Amino acid sequence: MNFEWPWQYNFPPFFTLQPNVDTRQKQLAAWCSLVLSYCRHRRIYTLDVMEAQESPMFNHKKIERKLSVEAIQIVFEELRKKGNLEWIDKSKTRCLIMWRQPEEWGKLIYQWVSRNGMINSVFTLYELSNGEDTENEEFHGLEECMLLRSLQALQVESKAEIITMDEGKGVKFF
Amino acid sequence: MHRRGVGAGAIAKKKLAEAKYKERGTVLAEDQIIQMSKQLETFKTHLEEFASKHKQEIRKNSQFRVQFQEMCATIGVDPLASGKGFWSEMLGVGDFYYELGVQIIEVCLALKHRNGGLITLDELHQRVLKGRGKFAQDVSQDDLVRAIKKLKAMGNGFGMIPVGGSYLVQSVPAELNMDHTVVLQLAEVKHIMRSEVRWEPEHLLKEGLAWLDTQAYGDPQYWLPALFSELSARDITPDEASQMVP
């Protein structure tokens, strides 16, 4: 299904950081919304700042406009403040885009586990995100970073425990 | 010696003559009144027939409405003069424009955050039609202009700025001074080049009517969302979709 770009996407000044404070507020709100819907639509869980510059999201080739790196950083900071973004590294080159909160993902995963009577079983992360059994679930294909964050959320609620195994990480549900 | 003319009889005769004249006068007036009543009755019936026959037409057909309005103007009748007037009650024309005025206000309010309270008549027309749905009455730009004039007269802060053969509808009394108005009249294109006219765009930026674009060729440009016609979201074309494949 085609992604529906908001009207601002075709409006050239949208890609220039606005000097007027009120207009800028509207602009940033629209950018946050665009980033979240685009990432949700394409099931993008992480973003690399340098790569993002070339993504159609920030670079609209047709109208020859793109958001500058500085502006992208500002948009990311807005998203972080709203709780929709987390930096993966200290140098802020890569981030988690949370168009769905880790707690919500955790809930979906736990529901699947309990529905299938698999409490107390151990899963590898791979099994959860890429296993045959989860093919029809929304969390199928969830990137490892995001999956871990979601399981951490469950861990806090004592509903899961992340364990380190030979082949990598795994999780047990309670 | 006989004296004629003045006598009880003469006075009586005179009185009788006067009375007869008076009576005839009354009778005449009565005649006329009866005639006029009959005519009015006929007129009223004709009018009622006209009203019921054309009420649907007037509500449905914008062209008919224009002609009707013009006809009213020539006989010195303003169907919109008062909500409770004979014409507006008879034909429901007043209601139509009142409702339309409300719709216009709704559209302008909904878009104010985006265009600062300035919208082209074309876009207003499109959105009003959209809001009325498939089975609603036809609304022309003439109707919109009349409704806006009504709103303006009621002091709703509405105004119309002529631009390139049409109008910009202003729903917020922003301080658009003469210079800007002149520029807008000159601007047939969707964006305004700073180098073309000597004026200060800072004001438009401050009012939230314009956005800055620094990525154009040459000087920075200023775009008015109100003049930007592609405001509605659309599907991306297959070409664009292929560009997006990672």
Q: Is B242 on the interface with A (CB under 8 A)?
A: no
- The answer for B 64-123 residues in CB contact with A (under 8 A) is 113-114
- What is the per-residue pLDDT across A48-92, written as a single tens digit (0 to 9) for each? 999 999 999 999 999 999 999 999 999 999 999 999 999 999 999
- Using CA atoms, how far apart are residues A140 and A136, in angstroms rounded to an integer? 7
Note the pLDDT of residue B192. 41
Upper half-sphere CA count for residue A107 (Cβ side, 13 Å)? 5
Confidence (pTM): 0.58
**Percent of chain B having pLDDT more than 90?**
4
- The type of residue at B151 is L
- Using CA atoms, how far apart are residues B15 and B239, in angstroms rounded to an integer? 105
Q: With a cut of 0.85, is the ipTM above it?
A: no
User: Could you give phi then psi for residue A78, rounded to 5 degrees?
Assistant: -60, -45
CB contact under 8 A, B231 and A4: no
CB contact under 8 A, A64 and B215: yes
Note the pLDDT of residue A73. 94
Chain A residue numbers with beta carbons less than 8 Å from the beta carbon of B214 are 16
